[in-house]
Structure 1
């Protein structure tokens, strides 16, 4: 038996497994692809008999599946020699299943967005009314509900920043960076939070990580310079502001930072 027929047999045998897992789309797809392989191959008599039985059994499984019947209520018909007609029917079934999957995905996305917006609004209100413990519990639960959503964690952090709860903001920004290490805005925000916490050395380390992803971002170097400014590391503040100005010569705030750091070192300010 050829490798293609071996694969086709394996695919047909997976139909029942997929249906038990309530996955009609891959079940139909597996049978569709398998029959296509069978039709492309010159079969010996014994192989033809084997695949006729395999296809018949798979069609019976599909016809008896409750989840598939909800989406495609028509009965699939198959007799030996009618593989081409069955393939055409399965193609129509796949179209129905794919369209349904798209609509279900849209509904899931809409539901997720509604739950997130509702949770953030409730958390914001709790923070604004100084009910911080309740806000922590609610927002931590919301984050756990969507464990891979870095933007959600960044938005939660913004709520905590607004309430001057910087330790909590740091925790969520750190998680956001862990999930999306290439998102530079998270580094800029965590740098601001760490400045508020006077954790300058940790802030520096985060900015050094960010440079791997955004060597050409002047704001990154400017915000690093702000860390050095609060840290009173005047030479480093000068260097960071010069890097920002090299990338954006008209960056007014970076120029101010440069001249302030020069003044602190007893050097002459430089014109813009």
Structure 2
């Protein structure tokens, strides 16, 4: 017979009560289950055993009246939750009951998360579909508003701005597409599709100064590449900055003699000379 309860047992009971006070009910159930299984294998003298029993009963009473347990212990909402009895010598059985309650709560929490995720996905889908439909109907202001709401509500979702940029681009809303791509560049600086989309949109709009800024960001972020220099050369040629076009075309051809845009620019320069 032990005169003092083992330290680990006392700590688990204290931990369970602490978790319950902090409304971490699942963790409280798990800690008390562990304590009860330890307790079932311990022989204590009457005094320390009575102390442990009091603490366990206090825990069970607080658990019974905890708001998180009401749907499980008071399914009829009568205001009288079903008590969880404790009997000496049946600690292991009680541990099994508490473990079962913990599993139910974990499953319910996971199901709630799934339902919230499904509802969130459905809302995003509805907003996008409505926005696209409005754009297709020529209601551009309303369509843009719906799609921008997607960007606001789902701003933390990886790739969402690139997706919206692609939708705007497909609908011919190139300025909106470019701005959405640029937002993506700020939030996800390694998302190469955002830079490509922004460059293409600004170039198609003949907003060469803005396209140039995106190219500078590409060089800072990803470094120089023959294809990047070649596309920049083509942009400068279209912008009628022939000196810059030639400079970038030569840089591209140094890395790749077959780079198509660079060769196109050099042929056009030769034809003018």
State the alpha-carbon separation in 1 of the partners of residues 178 and 248 from structure 2: 24
Q: Identify the match of residue 259 of structure 1 among 233, 249, 263.
A: 263
Partner of residue 29, structure 1: 27
TM-score by length of 2: 0.69
Q: 1:148·1:179 contact (CA, 8 Å) conserved in 2?
A: no
Distance in 2, Cα, partners of 1:223 & 1:71: 62
Task: Please name the residue that 2:167 is paired with.
Answer: 159
Q: Distance in 2 between matches of 1:63 and 1:174?
A: 54
| Pairing of 1:131-146 with structure 2 (within 5 A) | 131-146=139-154
Distance 1:171 1:255, change over 3 A: closer
Stretches of structure 2 that go unaligned for 5 or more consecutive residues are 1-5, 76-81, 238-244
Match in the other structure for 1:249: none
Contact map agreement 1:182 1:210 (CA 8 A) in 2: yes
Contact 1:124 1:159 in 2 (8 A): yes
Matched, 1:201 2:217: no
**1:2: how far off?**
6.0
Give the gaps of 5 or more residues in structure 1.
19-25, 247-253, 268-272
Superposed displacement of residue 190, structure 1: 2.4
Q: Match of 1:230?
A: 235
Which of residues 10, 13, 17 is equivalent to 1:12?
17
Match of 2:58 in 1: 57
Query: How many Å separate the matches in 2 of 1:166 and 1:4?
Result: 67
Secondary structure at the aligned position of 2:190 is classed as coil
Aligned length: 246
Q: Is the 8 A contact 1:204 1:224 kept in 2?
A: no
1:211 pairs with 2:256 = no
2:131–2:145 contact (8 Å) kept in structure 1: no
Pairing of 1:121-132 with structure 2 (within 5 A):
121-132=129-140
1:184 and 2:192 are equivalent in the alignment: yes
Q: Alpha carbons of 1:179 and 1:261: their partners in 2 closer, same or farther (altered >3 Å)?
A: same
CA distance in 1, matches of 2:52, 2:198: 61
Report if aligned partners of 1:28, 1:90 keep a CA contact under 8 Å in 2.
no
- CA–CA separation in structure 1 for the residues paired with 2:229 and 2:83: 66
In structure 2, distance between residues paired with 1:3 and 1:261 = 78
Deviations 1:128-179 (CA, angstroms, capped at 9, x unpaired)? 2332222232222232222312333222222222333333223322333444
1:15–1:30 Cα contact (<8 Å) kept: yes
**C-alpha contact 2:32 2:95 (8 A) present in aligned 1:** no
Contact 1:191–1:224 (Cα < 8 Å) also in 2:
no
In the alignment, what sits opposite 1:98?
Answer: 106
Which is higher, the Rg of structure 1 or of structure 2? 2
Structure 1 counterpart SS, 2:159 = helix
Aligned-partner SS, 2:86: coil
**Structure-2 residue corresponding to 1:239:** 251
Aligned CA distance change for structure 1 residues 266 and 81 (closer, same or farther; 3 Å)? farther
Looking at structure 2, the residues matched to 68 and 180 of structure 1 have their Cα atoms a distance apart, in angstroms, of 42
TM-score, scaled to structure 1: 0.70
**d(CA) in 2 for partners of 1:11 and 1:228?**
68
